[in-house]
């Protein structure tokens, strides 16, 4: 947990604990485990399961064990919500900005502060003002209503971003450095974070060259008009340069040119271009087109495209089918571009959400947009023919990103109401994720802990999540595994090698790993898990 946070149970309301699944019993892990020379011994796996069960019975022991557990990657991660409120206060103070004493919104102009504002520097010192700012900018101390109503938590969560947005301005590199440090501390090797750049120049261009919103029949004409503009090509280059600059600056902040390099420098960071869905259709489509242009060329380390903002926002609900058609159109022209989509982040009880809305969002993300991954997917069982949908997701290797703490805080979905086991039982690949760890006052260790205490996952399923996170990461390079979602045989160059911590791979495998950042991450994960299981066996 971040310094100064409440216990997870207080932050997300009462979460009923489920028994920890015993090895070989209970729910089945999403993917088949490795066999032969590429699997740790059954004795070690059983020892780790016993250690997990023992740790779950004692105060604090589970968090300590899970912090040590290799987690693979965090695939559902918003940079704008990733950093603690305390760090954001520091950014605002450094920039001499002011904070409204009623709304706690950071003003864009630096000091002197206007009436009703205080210097952000005042919040760097302990006291009531600091406490109130942190509460306004995060879920710290937020009391979820006992009747299970999701609206208050949902509204408070999403309102935080507008309050601290000006504190983040100009600090992307600082935030990336904070994210990398946090990932290294909890043994997360890869972070795929969502960032938007060049939104304003793109908006101005679109309003000049195509001020009308496109409908389904006008997507090709809109696309061609925009992409033929020389200014659009300039924006693509400017956006790529902005990503590259932020990447270089965060590495410089960490001191990655030093020897030895800090552990945070070993964390692999890539970007997904995030598209705002709660805006006019022309701006949504233009951002999608820009994201595809960046990801298609792997420019600025952009490896995929996603859509953000509340799925239940009025415009997002109204235009959801059109947005999926837009993505599907772009995928038809650029099938190699990876797409992850927020879909099914809905529950009954949210204002404006009808039963009809719950019946098709995941299916359209998969079938119309052609998403490679789905974020949230909470309303699965409300989807029409949800079992057939899950079967299609399994066949097409569509992974579900599961930020369990967000589901508890924003949607009030925990325990048996959560579809996690419906996905697992259907064989759909699934990876645990954070979402907005700064706002939720949590980290990936906390998500793994909730997976154990609330969903009853055992060591085998936690390992499956870690493996799936890298298997389905959009990071460049060939896959270490011969088949996706089947972890029993490595690809041919490494088929006869064993990822033992005390032994290196053969020459052919070494060359393969050197050419593939993805496979190198997966190989290191297998080594780290072997070491983790052995430590558990010798305790």
Angstrom distance (rounded) from CA 509 to CA 494: 5
The answer, yes or no, to whether residue 531 has pLDDT greater than 50, is: yes
SS3 of 343, please? Answer: strand
Instruction: Count Cα neighbours of 187 within 13 Å in the Cβ-side half-sphere.
Output: 21
Cα 472 to the center of its chain, rounded Å? 12
Q: Reply yes or no on whether the pLDDT at 152 is more than 50.
A: yes
Q: How confident is the model at residue 501 (pLDDT cuts 50, 70, 90)?
A: confident
Residues 291-307 have a mean pLDDT of 98
| CA distances, 180 to each of 21, 183, 246, 263 (Å) | 31, 5, 13, 9
The count of other CB atoms within 10 Å of the CB of residue 326 is: 27
CA distances from 372 to 111, 336, 392, 407, 532 (A): 46, 10, 12, 21, 30
> Residue range 520-529: average pLDDT?
98
| Higher-scoring residue by pLDDT: 110, 314 | 314
What is the helix (H) or strand (E) element at residue 465, kind and residue range?
helix 459-471
Angstrom distance (rounded) from CA 434 to CA 440: 9
Tokens representing residue 220 in the block? 């090709």
- The tens digit of pLDDT for each residue in 128-149 reads 999 999 999 999 999 999 999 9
Lowest-pLDDT range of 24-38, 288-302, 417-431: 24-38
Note whether 119 and 98 are within 8 A (CB).
yes
Strand 430-432 with 268-276, pairing: unpaired
The pLDDT of 410-431, averaged and rounded, is: 98
Selected residue with higher pLDDT from 10 and 108: 108
**Is residue 341's pLDDT more than 80?**
yes
pLDDT, tens digit, for every residue of 195-235? 999 999 999 999 999 999 999 999 999 999 999 999 999 99
Give the separation between CA 136 and CA 138, rounded to whole angstroms.
Answer: 6
- Model confidence over 34-53: pLDDT tens digits? 433 445 568 899 999 999 99
pLDDT value at residue 6: 30
Q: How confident is the model at residue 503, as a pLDDT?
A: 87
pLDDT (0 to 100) of residue 527: 97
Which one-letter DSSP state was computed for residue 436?
Answer: S
Query: What pLDDT does 40 receive?
Result: 56
Q: Where would I find the beta strands (DSSP E) of 433-500? A: 481-483, 486-490
pLDDT at 3: 32
H or E stretch including 107?
A: strand 106-110
Specify the pLDDT at position 372: 99
Average pLDDT over residues 171-191: 99
- In a 13 Å sphere around the CA of 85, the CA atoms on its Cβ side amount to 29
| Per-residue pLDDT, 109 | 82
Quick check: 18 pLDDT over 80? no
List beta partners, residue 132.
Answer: none
pLDDT at 39: 54
Alpha helices, DSSP H, located in 255-313: 281-296
Instruction: Quick: pLDDT tens for 470-485.
Output: 999 999 999 999 999 9
Averaged pLDDT for residues 261-267? 98
Judge whether 431 and 472 are in contact, CB under 8 Å: yes
Q: What is the pLDDT of residues 80-108, one digit of tens each?
A: 999 999 999 999 999 999 999 999 999 99
pLDDT value at position 432? 99
């Amino acid at each position: 947990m971040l310094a100064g946070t409440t216990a997870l149970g207080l932050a997300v309301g009462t979460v009923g604990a489920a028994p920890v699944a015993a090895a070989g019993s209970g729910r089945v892990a999403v993917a088949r485990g490795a066999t032969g020379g590429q699997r740790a011994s059954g004795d070690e796996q059983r020892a780790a399961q016993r250690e997990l069960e023992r740790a779950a019975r004692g105060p604090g022991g589970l968090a300590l064990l899970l912090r040590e557990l290799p987690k693979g990657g965090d695939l559902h991660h918003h940079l704008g919500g990733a950093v603690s409120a305390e760090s954001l206060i520091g950014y605002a103070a450094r920039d001499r900005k002011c904070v409204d004493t009623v709304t706690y919104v950071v003003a864009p102009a630096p000091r002197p502060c206007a009436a009703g504002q205080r210097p952000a520097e005042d919040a760097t010192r302990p006291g009531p003002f600091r406490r109130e700012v942190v509460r306004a900018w995060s879920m710290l101390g937020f009391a979820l209503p006992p009747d299970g109503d999701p609206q208050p938590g949902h509204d408070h969560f999403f309102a935080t971003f507008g309050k601290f947005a000006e504190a983040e301005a100009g600090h992307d590199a600082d935030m990336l450095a904070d994210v990398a440090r946090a990932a290294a501390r909890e043994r997360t090797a890869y972070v795929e974070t969502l960032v938007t750049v060049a939104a304003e120049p793109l908006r101005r261009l679109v309003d000049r060259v195509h001020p009308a919103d496109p409908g389904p029949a006008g997507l090709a004409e809109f696309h061609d008009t925009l992409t033929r503009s020389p200014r659009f090509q300039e924006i693509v280059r400017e956006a790529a340069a902005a990503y590259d600059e932020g990447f270089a600056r965060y590495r410089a902040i960490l001191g990655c040119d030093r020897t030895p390099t800090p552990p945070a420098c070993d964390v692999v960071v890539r970007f997904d271009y995030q598209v705002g869905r709660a805006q006019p259709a022309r701006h949504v489509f233009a951002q999608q087109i820009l994201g595809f242009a960046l990801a298609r060329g792997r420019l600025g380390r952009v490896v995929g495209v996603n859509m953000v903002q509340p799925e239940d926002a009025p415009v997002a609900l109204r235009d959801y089918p059109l947005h999926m058609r837009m993505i599907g159109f772009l995928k038809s022209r650029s099938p190699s571009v990876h797409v992850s989509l927020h879909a099914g982040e809905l529950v009954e009880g949210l204002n404006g959400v009808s039963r009809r809305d719950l019946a098709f969002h995941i299916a359209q993300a998969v079938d119309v947009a052609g998403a490679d991954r789905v974020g949230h997917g909470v309303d699965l069982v409300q989807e029409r023919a949800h079992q057939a949908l899950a079967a299609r997701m399994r066949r097409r290797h569509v992974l579900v990103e599961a930020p369990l703490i967000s589901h508890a805080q924003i949607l009030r979905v925990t325990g048996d109401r959560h579809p996690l086991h419906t996905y697992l039982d259907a064989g759909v690949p699934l990876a645990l994720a954070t979402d907005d760890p700064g706002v939720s006052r949590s980290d990936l260790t906390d998500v793994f802990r909730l997976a154990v205490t609330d969903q009853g996952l055992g060591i085998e399923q936690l390992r499956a999540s870690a493996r799936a996170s890298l298997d389905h990461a959009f990071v460049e390079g060939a896959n270490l595994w011969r088949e996706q979602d089947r972890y029993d045989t490595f690809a041919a160059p490494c088929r006869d090698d064993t990822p033992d911590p005390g032994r290196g791979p053969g020459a052919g495998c070494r060359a393969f790993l050197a050419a593939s950042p993805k496979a190198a991450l997966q190989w290191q994960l297998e080594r780290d898990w072997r070491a983790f299981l052995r430590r558990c066996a010798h305790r």
